[in-house]
Chains A and B, each alone.
Chain A
Amino acid sequence: MFGKKGDIFDPNKVLRIRNSRKIYLPFYVMAIILVGILVYIFFLGLPLSRLGLFLIIIFIIIGIKITEIHRIINLYEINPESFVHTFGIFGKTVENIDFLAVSHLEVGQSLWQRFLRFGDVDIRVFGRENTTFVRNINKPFEFVRFFEDRVNEKRDGKMQPPLTHSRGLHITRKHRRNKR
């Protein structure tokens, strides 16, 4: 899985990741249903409402715009030194978390997220109050393993013993609903 050509979890590269498009699946399904109805009406030669056609076009165009804009709001980056969360499109908020400050990682997946293989990761810096949420990313467990490897590499570089799951950096798998 790791280190493969074209793999986003390549340890030799900086990982940049955004929200998964899978969270917009309900919208895509709705758009496909509308287009399907449109094709069905067209092939049966039934009367097609111009207003309906106009609304479908509006629904799809605005839907795609909103989902894509929503997606590019968050950028998560893991570089050799730290985790960086950039939030915003025009005005940006950049949060930089040094790997040495991270104490706990928590993966949350609802049933829907487990089914589609995406989820949330909570990055804690010495306590629940100081949590950075990484929402709706693909392959959250691979993300956490990659994160953990980078943390270990940095800590090894400081001549500290390598971390395991039971020492230093704690990784918890938790159902999403339990977090709220």
Chain B
Amino acid sequence: MTESHEGLTSYKRRSKFKIFAFIFFVGIVVLLIYTAFSGRLPITGNIVGDVIVGNDSNLIIQADLTVPEIKLDGDFSSVEIEGSSSGFLYVGNQKVELGNSGRNFISMENFDGTIEFNTAKILRLKGRASQASVNGIPFTSATNKSTKVSFNEEFSYNSLDISNDVHIKNLVYLTTGVIRLDNDKIVLNVNNEEINIRGFVGSLSSSKDKFKLNGVLNKLIVEGETFISVD
């Protein structure tokens, strides 16, 4: 390469490209780590994660609210879903077609993974379960160990029940409904107000605009016409 080819301009251009590539790399790493360990970005939804249970200050909660868009990660003893889809449920190597029946009932035991849903659809379900059944037909892995379970596309559900060990670190959304605390000692009627549920552990069900929580929580904040904080 001659001196003219190896000019200062070319050198500066290469340096700029290297800096750009490195910044791009750092950006991707930060994005991956942030989304993996801190939940989702604020623009995409709520933040959920692990909580510390066994705190004496836990409040018993039964709530009947509107459905948020939420993502749950964890190990749940039971997951039951009723709904329809034109797609498939993958159970290990098996591909269970869901389009044949207008109404499918899916049951999973000891599900460990991710469930993401909104009012109408299960946006993502991916994890492992010790046993899965579709419309009463059980599907188990040949090795009798937990097997991979996932939907290939969004699933329109009528009802979703997740029993036990649902952990919600922090859920903030605008909702309407009734929240009962400490066995009806405190009853809050929420009308299009922002609630903040912190440290919830328990069971959860969702069906047609009804989002029911049954368990304990560390703190509840309601921000509407009046500000209420219970912990």
Does B associate with A? yes
A52 and B21 contact, CB distance less than 8 A: no
Residues of A within 8 A of B40 (CB): 47
| Min distance, Cβ B31 to any Cβ of chain A, angstroms | 5
Bound Cα distance from A152 to B129, whole angstroms: 74
> B188 in the interface, Cβ–Cβ < 8 Å?
no
Residues of A within 8 A of B71 (CB): 47
A59 and B28 contact, CB distance less than 8 A: yes
B36 and A41 contact, CB distance less than 8 A: yes
Bound Cα distance from A55 to B29, whole angstroms: 10
Q: How large is the interface on B (under 10, 10 to 19, 20 to 34, 35 or more residues)?
A: 20 to 34
B127 and A48 contact, CB distance less than 8 A: no
Known: A132-B2, A133-B1. A55 touches B36 (CB 8 A): no
A46 in complex: contacting residue of B2, B3, B36, CB < 8 Å? B36
B35 in complex: contacting residue of A33, A44, A47, A74, CB < 8 Å? A47
Known: A34-B29, A38-B32. A45 touches B112 (CB 8 A): yes
A56 and B73 contact, CB distance less than 8 A: no
> A146 in the interface, Cβ–Cβ < 8 Å?
no
Bound Cα distance from A8 to B22, whole angstroms: 34
> B12 in the interface, Cβ–Cβ < 8 Å?
no
Residues of B within 8 A of A111 (CB): none
Residues of B30-70 contacting chain A, CB below 8 A: 31-33, 35-37, 39-41
Bound Cα distance from A27 to B37, whole angstroms: 25
Bound Cα distance from A149 to B29, whole angstroms: 49
B29 and A46 contact, CB distance less than 8 A: no
22 contacts between A and B (CB under 8 A): A26-B22, A30-B25, A34-B25, A34-B29, A34-B32, A37-B29, A41-B36, A46-B37, A47-B36, A47-B39, A47-B40, A47-B71, A48-B35, A49-B41, A52-B35, A55-B27, A56-B28, A63-B21, A85-B1, A133-B1, A133-B6, A135-B1
Chain B residues within 8 Å of A, Cβ to Cβ? 1-3, 5-6, 18, 21-22, 24-25, 27-29, 31-33, 35-37, 39-41, 71, 73, 112-114, 127
Chain A residues within 8 Å of B, Cβ to Cβ? 26-27, 30, 33-34, 37-38, 41, 44-49, 51-52, 55-56, 59, 63, 74, 85, 87, 95, 129, 131-135
